[in-house]
Structures are given as structure tokens and as C-alpha cells.
Structure 1
Amino acid sequence: MDPGNVVWFEIATSDAEPVQKFYSELLDWTYEIDPDSSINGIRYIRIIAPKAPFPMGAIREAPDQPTTMNMSIISEDVPTDTERLAKLGATVQIPPTQVADVTWFAVLTDPRGNAFSLFSQSKSERFAERMEQGGKAMSEAAYAPTPGAMGWFEIGTTDAVTTQDFYRQAFGWKFELDDSAGGKPYYNIFTTNEWPSGGMYDHGTGGTDYLMPSFLAADVPAVTTQGERLGATIEVAPEPNPDGLVFARLLDPDGNRFGLFSLPDSMNAGN
């Protein structure tokens, strides 16, 4: 897993139970406690998608913590990157923090106010085998995510130039206009891979700024309807692209934004 890749997401909350209940009923997630990161009154709960070989994210439960969601980006050196990104216009929300010998992490917001975290892989010998196995599993899952899994991330921006400039300088990301989006100002994002792993939607000055995960769904309209029934708000109703991809954007009961998408039939045929 190379630095600059988005490979994880985190939900911070003071009460994990309603978060777990909503997403397990909506996307069939299961959970397990991470004993290495659950310390000092904090519970770190790994999130596992159906049939997934490895966790894709976590819930961080801590006292007096509002419920928020952010994407996580691999860093080779969290303190150094935090200082560098602050000079590029990011704001530090949680300074670089070491969690035993497990990881370093920090939480920042980009120049448009979108939260993201940096985290480093453990170099401890006792985690070497786990990280090697997990890295392989996450790589395999990235090629063929199953319904309920995070398969994409999306940036929504009201200032495309500022957004692109920041992430290019911060992580070396590349942005290419998506010709399959039916004329929408949508850009594929290439992190460190040869294929896109996320996208940027240029909403213009009257739109919305966000950075969110998107989860694969076998039937986007059905899952969207179920989400509303469970207390979510539909921000963008299910819409098809000309290539057959269907997407929707929702706010969960705590107001955290996430996307749903189904693959075009041509891609499903190859699975």
C-alpha cells in the first residue's frame, strides 16, 4: 500500500451502537474490536463488508466525540506530512499522535474544509505478518469489491482549481475528465495506481464541498429506499450514467455523507 492511497475510512462517535445498527441493516457490515488500538477509554471497532477478506474501515468510539466521518490516506511519515500539508493550506484538527507501536495518525481538513486523516503502517515486527496478509487482501478486494464494500471515494467541490492544486501537491494525485459521465464535470482521480480509485465532482459555486466514501450496491434504488427508511436523507436520488453505472448520495442519520453505486452491466459481466 503506497503513500498517497486512500484505503480506509473512519467514523468517529461517542456511541458506536446506533452507527453499527444503521450500517449493518443497510449494507450488512459486521464488526470486530481492535484490541491494539482500544486504549485509554477509546474503542476502535473494525468494519468488515460482506465476504470481504479484511477490514475496510473502523469506528473510533471516544467520550464527547461528535459523530463524523473521514477518509484515511497512507503516509510514510505522519508528522512530516502534517507539517508539509499545513503549509499547503490544510488545517490540523488532531496533531500527529502515536498509538503504541500500532500506527501514527493525524486528522486534517483540506482548504475547502473536508476532513481526512493520515495514518502510517506499523513497522513493529509483531505486526509484520498481519500487515503483509492484510495488504494482499486489501489489494485483492480493491479489484473486485463486493456489495457493501467501499469501492470508490468522491470529492465534491465548489472550487475545482483549489481542490485539484491541493491534492496534486499533497499526494501527487492526477485528475482526468471522465468522458463516460454524460457531460457532467466529473473527474477520475488517479492516486498511485494505473486505474482511478476516486472521483471529483465540480459542483460550481452553488454546490457542496465534501470528501466521502462510496459503497458498492447490487441495487442502488433499493438500498437508497432502505437507507431512507432507516433514517438517512437522500441528497441525490439514484441516477444512471450513460455507461450504465447508477449512483446516489445520502446523509446518514448523523448527517455524514456517503455514496452508493452499482457497476455498469459490462463490468458486472466480467466478474
Structure 2
Amino acid sequence: MSFMSPGQVVWFEVGTTDPDAVTGFYGPLLGWTFEVDPDSSVDGRTYTRIIAPGAPWPMGAIQQGDTGGEVINLSVLSADVPADVDKLTGLGATVVVPATQVADVTVFARLADPRGNVFSLFSQSTSQRFEERMTGTEEYMQQAASTPKPGSMGRFEIGTTATKATTDFYAAAFGWRFEKDDTADGTPYFDVFGPGAQWPSGGLWDHSGGGAEMADYVMPCFLVTDVAATTDTARKLGARVEHGPETHPDGTVSVRLTDPRGNRFGLFSPPAGPTAGC
């Protein structure tokens, strides 16, 4: 199955009322660069694409002021956004932003899962303009997913105190499957596979046993070469550490933080082989 197939996480977005604050934090921290979509400005609001160091294509974007607050969310590819909105609300999701046409480029919607975690849907346009923009993107995104570069989104993580409810929702919503990670040294952790995927693109941490600082969350995780050093830089830039840094049995090092706007994200550095979690 193609990486750019419905049900796959292929993008992330930061919703904010202050794009300059977001770029001022993540630019110095992860080496991101930014480009404002010239067609995006509506009533002074902008859509700013996020580009990882050395990447030829964006991996995410900053959406100004359309959610009424600060949020960072994953974006899932959809074959039919309005139909998927109906399907997901039937599964217990709630609509944050209804299905919306953006020029001739795409259709998107933003929802919250039954645990309150926000995510987006978007569909590819068949317009020539969009196809020209997307030429080469799938190949790049496939390579970025299999061998992420420092500063890029390498995976995502779900944390939940209601594991069955969460896995049931995402399995029914997008065809994701969840496999227990036996290398996690007793931590109740599951690898998350997109529909038809051979390798996991994320992980799920079961917090139902208690003792966790957090309840439920969904966050992107960004690859770095030195988690401890990057965490120290993040603190100096105003971030707050929620969990870690910690070293997993397979050598993966990870940390969970919130940025100065309150958005949750992870940092990780993997071992030479496949990662156990972010």
C-alpha cells in the first residue's frame, strides 16, 4: 500500500494565535525553516509550512487562529473528508472544524477523538495545481518515515488511560493495528501500524496502571541526535519537561515536553535498529 494512502499519518499542524512564538521556539530548537503560503491569508491569518533541515518538502504547518486556542495535532489522509467526518462522529469523535474546501488545493476537517485528542483529516485534490505541488512528495515522505533525519517528525505517540477504547476507535476509524512491544521492559507499550503498513509509524503508551503525570494525549515525536542536550535547549527556550529523558532497553532515548504555548511533543534518538518508542 502507498505511504500516501487513506488512513496514514502524513502531516502535523500547530494551531496557534501567535505564529511568531511557534517559529521562534521550534526554529532554534530543531532547525526548522518556514514559508508562508501566499494564498492562505484570510483576515490576517496565515498558513505557514514547516520544513525540516535539508528537506525538499514540508512535513507540517502552522495554522493561525482557526481553533480558538493552542493545539498541535496529527493529520490523517482521507479519501473523502465529509464522509469520514460522518463516520468518525458515529464512532464518538466530535467536530472542531467542519469539512472545509481550501481553494482548489484540498479539503480538511479537524476533530477530537472520544478522549478529547485533536486530529485533522485532509484529502488530496485532483487539480493540476495540487498535483504539481505534490510531485515527488510521496517519495520524500516515504524516505523520511523509514529513515527520518534530525529535526523531522519520525513517529507519533498516543498516551491513554483507556487503552481498549482508544485502540477500538483508531482501528475502526483508520484501520490502524496495535501490536504489543515485547522489548519495552515491562512498560505497557504498543507499536501502531497504519493500514497495510509493514513498519510502525507510532506507538501507544498504556497509562491505565496509574502513576503517570499525564492522562490522554496524541503528539508528534521529532528525531534529534542528542535528547539530553536538545531537552536542555528546550528548557532554556521556555519548554516544560513532562517525562524523561529516559533510555529504553533497546537504546532509544526519549522525552515528552510541552512548548511555551502548551503544545505537547516528543523528542527521541533511536538505536541503530528499529525503535521501541518515542
The TM-score normalised by the length of structure 1 is 0.95
State the partner residue of 1:56: 59
Residue 262 of structure 1 and its aligned partner are, at CA, apart by 0.3
1:125 pairs with one of 128, 134, 154: 128
State the partner residue of 2:83: 80
CA distance in 2, matches of 1:216, 1:139: 16
- 5+ residue gaps, structure 2, are none
Within a 5 Å distance, the mapping from 1:79-158 to structure 2 comes to: 79-158=82-161
Conserved in 2, the CA contact under 8 Å of 1:153 and 1:199? Answer: yes
State the partner residue of 1:261: 268
- 5+ residue gaps, structure 1, are none
Within a 5 Å distance, the mapping from 1:65-76 to structure 2 comes to: 65-76=68-79
Does residue 1:176 correspond to 2:159, yes or no?
no
1:20 pairs with one of 23, 39, 55: 23
Residue 61 of structure 1 and its aligned partner are, at CA, apart by 1.3
Residue 165 of structure 1 and its aligned partner are, at CA, apart by 0.3
Residue 132 of structure 1 and its aligned partner are, at CA, apart by 2.9
CA distance in 1, matches of 2:114, 2:64: 27
Conserved in 2, the CA contact under 8 Å of 1:67 and 1:254? Answer: yes
State the partner residue of 2:192: 189
Residues 64 and 257 (structure 1 numbering): CA distance in 2 closer, same or farther, change over 3 Å? Answer: closer
Conserved in 1, the CA contact under 8 Å of 2:74 and 2:120? Answer: yes
CA distance in 2, matches of 1:190, 1:56: 19
Q: Secondary structure at the match of 1:248?
A: strand
Q: Cα RMSD between the aligned structures? A: 1.6
CA distance in 1, matches of 2:103, 2:42: 9
Does residue 1:199 correspond to 2:206, yes or no?
no
Conserved in 2, the CA contact under 8 Å of 1:36 and 1:102? Answer: no
- How many percent of aligned residue pairs carry the same amino acid? 56
Residues 63 and 201 (structure 1 numbering): CA distance in 2 closer, same or farther, change over 3 Å? Answer: closer
CA distance in 2, matches of 1:130, 1:236: 38
Residues 17 and 151 (structure 1 numbering): CA distance in 2 closer, same or farther, change over 3 Å? Answer: same
Q: Secondary structure at the match of 1:86?
A: helix
CA distance in 1, matches of 2:262, 2:39: 29
CA distance in 2, matches of 1:106, 1:85: 11
Residue 201 of structure 1 and its aligned partner are, at CA, apart by 0.3
CA offsets 1:130-175 (integer angstroms, 9 cap, x no match): 2132222211222211111000001000100000000000001000
Residue 2 of structure 1 and its aligned partner are, at CA, apart by 0.3
Conserved in 2, the CA contact under 8 Å of 1:53 and 1:141? Answer: no
CA distance in 2, matches of 1:215, 1:64: 23
Give the letter aligned to residue 41 of structure 1: G
State the partner residue of 2:259: 252
Q: Larger deviation: 43-52 or 121-130?
A: 121-130
Conserved in 2, the CA contact under 8 Å of 1:53 and 1:138? Answer: no
CA distance in 1, matches of 2:65, 2:122: 18
State the partner residue of 2:236: 229
CA distance in 1, matches of 2:16, 2:5: 28
CA distance in 1, matches of 2:256, 2:66: 29
The TM-score normalised by the length of structure 2 is 0.93
Give the letter aligned to residue 164 of structure 1: T
Conserved in 1, the CA contact under 8 Å of 2:15 and 2:67? Answer: no
